[in-house]
Amino acid sequence: MPKRRQTRAGGRPPSGGQRPSGTSAGRPGAAGGRPASAGRPASASRPTSAARPGPAGSPGQPGASETRQAVERVSARPLVFLTQLPKWVLLVILLGLLISGFAVPGLIGAAALLVVGILLGWLAYLSWPSLNTQARLGRVVALVCMVIIVVWQARR
């Protein structure tokens, strides 16, 4: 009795190494046996939100406003710099600014907290298009809390 070939749903045979040697496993035109990931260059090890090419090779979201494109263009270098730092460096700097902001009363403490708030707002603005409603709400609440804390610290 001949051996019966197993099929997947829809009547297609399983793809366990049965492809001809010249075809790719991904989208048409993708090199190698892995599918090309959408919006990510093949050579980038850690992409940033500003590194995604748009329709005309410009960074950011397709159809974004001129202001957003300008902010993303200016933010590209600082973002690359931040991603190349060890992760603990930014954490130590932010914790130092937060601790000094709460410990030192008056305008100096408020200025330290304002730097943290500006960084938080900048990152929230850059990540805004890729967020869902719940994440956007969290960013807005965090920014409002930072503004309240900065004003409170400045009046102390």
Domain region containing 125:
65-155
Instruction: Report yes or no on 114 lying in a domain.
Output: yes
Question: Count of domains in the chain?
Answer: 1
Model confidence pLDDT, tens digit, residues 116-128: 999 999 999 999 9
CB atoms inside a 10 Å sphere around CB 4: 6
Q: What is the mean pLDDT of the chain?
A: 76
Model confidence pLDDT, tens digit, residues 41-86: 444 444 444 444 444 444 566 777 888 889 999 999 999 999 999 9
Instruction: Report yes or no on 32 lying in a domain.
Output: no
Instruction: Report yes or no on 74 lying in a domain.
Output: yes
Instruction: Report yes or no on 26 lying in a domain.
Output: no
Q: Which percentage of the chain shows pLDDT scores above 70?
A: 60
* Cβ pair 106, 112 in contact under 8 A: no
Instruction: Report yes or no on 119 lying in a domain.
Output: yes
- Amino acid present at 3: K
Instruction: Report yes or no on 79 lying in a domain.
Output: yes
Which token pair is 130?
A: 């890729």
The whole-number pLDDT of residue 15 equals 55
The whole-number pLDDT of residue 147 equals 95
Instruction: Report yes or no on 116 lying in a domain.
Output: yes
17: left (phi over 0), alpha (psi -120 to 50) or beta: left
Instruction: Report yes or no on 87 lying in a domain.
Output: yes
Residue 151 half-sphere exposure toward CB, CA atoms < 13 A: 6
Place of tokens 């991603």: 83
